[in-house]
Amino acid sequence: MISNKLGLKWPESTPEWKENLVRKVNFLSLIGTLNVIAAFIVFQIIGFQFLNFHLFVVLGLAATIFLLNYKQKFILASYLFFAIGIYLLGVATIYMRLESNVLMYFFPLTLSIVQIYGRRETFAHLITWCTIYFLTIGFLVVFGPNYYPIKIPDTTMDALKVFNGLFAFFCGLMQITVITWLNIRQEEQIRNIIDEKRLLLAELYHRVKNNLNIVTSLINIKKNNSDSQEVIDALEDCRGRVYSMALVHQQMYSGSKVGNLNMMNYMVELIRNVEHAFGGNADVILEVDSGELILPISKAVPIGLIMNELITNSYKHATIPYKKLIVKIHVSQLGNSLQIEVTDNGPGIKAGKEENPSKLGFELIRSLCEQIDASFMIGKKTAENPGTNIQIKIIDYTEKAQLFV
């Protein structure tokens, strides 16, 4: 509000923390100015006029703080604010003496330091000023009594004790109230920004999903108008791959955490789509040895394509006449790694076939595994399991996750 009244224009590149720092310094400077004026009036009433000159100096310097903020000298303005505080409290301690409770004003001033500099970008300034204030208080306590220039009557000292105690408490309470109000405003702004970005991100995923669905529809049209079984099979493979990507984006915006994929929900929908495409003449068993598995977008699309390829290959190449196909998908979490194992009860992969990517799509699978830093291994046949066994391990699958709750 004060910045707006001063006509302060923020450059687009100004970090949010600088804007908040200026708001806090402006508000605290305004409060300090009002406190100095109130102190001046009270001192005139009780007949303590030794600080009049210093109070006028402080009022003049306070205007400089607003000017520095207007000129976008943010850190310098905050330094001047705290330097004024040290100057005023130092002079007040010398004139009013320690027994007048004047040191209590250091509490709200120290609170201001924490509120203004209490963040990562300005932490060094916080340490600097806390150290300066600590040394200043120590100096005033140890050496201050040697420099008392005046003798204060007992009646005036009693009035100063009451005034300083109550006024220091009032200043601290006012600062806490103002800073809390500013923090609430800042939190509301952050929430609005997050909600806006969440909405935009959901809309982005929704539009991508719609575009991929259009591509799927075009493939279906072409497939239905083709008389070549080879072309139909090739188009069906393309349709399944496009659908696996579209499903990722659908799950991304429809879940409670926009920008992340719930793997369990995704796998259920993907299996349902493959079953529908091949007639549902097999049992697909999904086992997940973990709680909620959340994938970031950087991992979700490649993993979706890999799983679509593996399940489709089992349907196409593992079917044995008069024997029901069973496909087992086992997903387990090992620390930050994700292990996926796909097995079936088919005839298995013949020797040398894994080197022929044109038939089984291993070239695509290997390429996607390299993209997400995953290992890809084909298990050996055993008497208990003569079918295909493929194991994929994704290292640090949670990397670059973006959570918008």
CA–CA gap between residue 366 and residue 388 (Å, rounded): 16
Over the chain, what HEC string results?
CHHHHCCCCCCCCCCHHHHHHHHHHHHHHHHHHHHHHHHHHHHHHHCCCCCHHHHHHHHHHHHHHHHHHHCCCHHHHHHHHHHHHHHHHHHHHHHHCHHHCHHHHHHHHHHHHHHHHCCHHHHHHHHHHHHHHHHHHHHHHHHHHHHCCCCCCHHHHHHHHHHHHHHHHHHHHHHHHHHHHHHHHHHHHHHHHHHHHHHHHHHHHHHHHHHHHHHHHHHHHHHHCCCCHHHHHHHHHHHHHHHHHHHHHHHHHHCCCECEEEHHHHHHHHHHHHHHHCCCCEEEEEEEECCCCEEEHHHHHHHHHHHHHHHHHHHHHCCECCECEEEEEEEEEECCEEEEEEEECCCCCCCCHHHCHHHHCHHHHHHHHHHCCEEEEECCCCCCCCCCEEEEEECCCCCCCCCEC
Give 311-330 pLDDT, tens digit per residue: 888 887 777 777 777 888 88
Pair 309, 360: CB distance under 8 Å: no
Cα of 338 vs its chain's centroid, Å: 24
CA–CA gap between residue 182 and residue 174 (Å, rounded): 12
What the block records as the tokens of 228 is 């070549």
Give 367-399 pLDDT, tens digit per residue: 888 888 888 888 766 666 667 888 888 887 765
Q: Which amino acid is at 144?
A: G
CA–CA gap between residue 65 and residue 68 (Å, rounded): 5
Q: Is the dihedral of CA 146, 150, 155, 161 positive or negative?
A: negative
Structural domains in the chain, CATH included, are 2-193 (no CATH), 256-405 (3.30.565.10)
Nearest to 251 by CA among 211, 304, 313, 181: 304
Residues contacting residue 204 through CB under 8 Å, at least 6 positions apart = 253
- pLDDT digit string (tens) for the chain, length 405 residues: 444 444 344 444 556 667 777 777 777 788 888 888 888 888 888 777 888 888 888 888 888 888 887 777 878 888 888 898 888 888 888 888 888 888 888 888 888 888 788 778 788 888 998 899 889 888 888 888 887 788 888 888 888 888 888 888 888 888 788 778 877 887 888 888 888 887 887 788 788 888 888 988 898 898 888 888 888 888 888 888 888 888 888 877 776 666 677 888 888 888 888 888 777 666 777 776 666 777 777 788 888 888 888 888 888 777 777 777 788 888 888 777 888 888 888 777 765 555 444 454 678 888 888 888 888 888 766 666 667 888 888 887 765 444 333
Rounded to whole angstroms, what are the CA distances from 30 to 14, 33, 64, 170?
23, 5, 12, 15
Pair 132, 86: CB distance under 8 Å: yes
